[in-house]
Amino acid sequence: MTQSTTQATPLPTPGQPTAADAQSKKAGEESLAPQSVRIMGKWSYLLAWFGGCVSIGTFAMGSSIVGTLNLLQATLAIALGCFIIGVALTLNGAAGYRYGIPFVVQARAAFGFAGTKFPGLVRAVPAIVWYGFQSWVGAGALNAVSVTLFGFDSIVFWFIAFQFLQIILSTLGFQGIKWLENIGSGFILLSLVYMFFSVINKYGDEINRNLVGIEGTWGIEFWGATMLFLGIYSTMMLNVSDYSRELETGMKRGPLTTLYAMSILPCTLFMGLIGLMVSGATGHADPIAVFSSAVDNTPLLIATLLFITFAQVTTNVLNNVVPPTYVLMDVFKIPFKAAAILVGLLAFLTFPWELVKDESAAGLQVFVQTYSAFLGPIFAVMVVDYYIVRKRQLNLALFYDENGPYRGLNYAGFIASAVGAVIALYFSEVSWYASLIPAGLVYWLLMKHWGACRRFND
């Protein structure tokens, strides 16, 4: 892919970092300044999202709905969830795309300079948990290859080695991420297709009996399933500006929505359905055990396990490293590389070996529903702030002025998020959906009528 040098639409204003600052940045030298040089064209951007969405978490969500939906309903639930994701990414990524600002800067108007710690940490915690979870799965795949080829069996060794490899890769910044995702996408697609048909070939009778032949439901459980597959990406819906500010300008909303949805759909569909089918057929939710039993040919098994390992790298460095790294940069004022290393070390503390057990699939479902209950309201607040309160016009100087009108806390963002979260937790099966209107409406009313919020209405 060629490197684009498309300039961001708005010109810098006095007091904000200038375009020259962004143009002087090199690979691995990331900052929170507005991005003026865009390094990703539309195809590069599509491939980056494609490679970054091969989530073992999606496999786990497929496992968690066994016995609830039949195969057709599960397929439609995944497709509908991906379409909603595409719309949400386009909406909340518009500020980053137009102005070149990351999520933690975008949130300053809705939550205040001091208040951005709240949405930042709410976004960072799930990312670090998934980072550890997926690293352990990747280490399990490496260990299986090691046992098969060399007789060496030590998942702890491979987990530590694999995690440090990802830490090194993550310090390369978006330039390194771009090429890692783009190069790996073809291998990922071929491997997914192969695994999908291998599962059908080996477990066809069980799949037909346990998944095709059941009635399922089109009720609240169906919509809850759409939210589970959507919830895997609800974290990225929040910080999508971290990525959209790297995309060359000039794309309209419709094509951009299609780009997001079509980059996410293939991986989500394959991984979700593979998780549903193999767990429905075997009763196991551990992907390493499942694929080891599904593939009889040793060379193909090794290739499959290496795919699982590689997929964890592409997903982690894009989705689970960048967001918490930017949060640490904002909160503790540390450079990108140091923050990325710290995020990698924190992933060790998530005890991921407890999350990959067969009985953990239901627990991961609850985990997704719970953090989605907090991410949904924040998403609604930020969308209302950008489109309704500010009418898509941002004064960037204020977003970088710690002593300006956005200083301190914007209580409207906190109150609206709390209202949305309470409602979402009450309707836990559809928590993300349930939180949107209450949170967005409360935020708009407070910003419009509460005097304490007046200085945030620049």
For the record, the structure tokens of 109 come out as 């108007």
Beta carbons within 8 Å of 197's beta carbon, 6+ residues apart? none
Domains and CATH numbers, the chain: 48-127+173-299+360-456 (1.10.4160.10)
Q: For 324-355, b where at least 16 C-beta lie within 10 A, e where not — what string?
A: bbbbbbbbeeeebbebbbbbbebbeebebbeb
DSSP 8-class letter at 209: I
Supply the pLDDT for residue 68. 76
Supply the pLDDT for residue 292. 66
Supply the pLDDT for residue 275. 77
Per the confidence metrics, is the pTM higher than 0.85?
no
For the record, the structure tokens of 214 come out as 């059941």
DSSP 8-class letter at 404: S
- Evaluate whether 228 touches 19 at the Cβ level (below 8 Å): no
- Evaluate whether 372 touches 424 at the Cβ level (below 8 Å): yes
The SS3 assignment for 146 reads helix
In the numeric block, the tokens 């969830």 are attached to 81
Per-residue pLDDT tens listing for the chain (458 residues): 434 433 333 434 333 444 334 343 343 446 788 887 887 888 888 877 877 677 666 777 777 776 777 878 888 888 888 888 889 999 999 999 999 999 999 999 999 999 999 999 888 888 898 888 888 888 888 998 898 888 899 999 999 999 998 898 888 766 656 565 556 566 666 777 777 777 777 777 777 776 766 777 787 888 888 877 777 777 888 889 988 988 888 888 888 888 888 888 887 887 787 777 777 776 666 666 666 666 666 777 787 777 777 777 777 777 788 889 988 888 888 888 899 899 999 988 887 776 656 555 556 667 777 787 898 999 999 999 999 999 999 999 999 999 999 999 999 999 999 999 999 888 877 878 889 999 999 999 999 999 888 898 86
For the record, the structure tokens of 420 come out as 């949305």
Supply the pLDDT for residue 365. 66
- Evaluate whether 134 touches 316 at the Cβ level (below 8 Å): yes
DSSP 8-class letter at 35: P
Beta carbons within 8 Å of 350's beta carbon, 6+ residues apart? 128, 129, 131, 132, 133
What DSSP letter does each residue of 281-298 carry, written as one string?
HHS---HHHHHHHH---H
CA 47/CA 293 separation, integer angstroms: 30
CA 203/CA 211 separation, integer angstroms: 11
Among 121, 123, 162, CA closest to 141: 162
What are the phi and psi torsion angles at 40 (to 5°)? -120, 125
- The four Cα atoms 41, 42, 48, 53 give a dihedral, to 10 degrees, of 160
Neighbours of 14 (CB within 10 A): 6
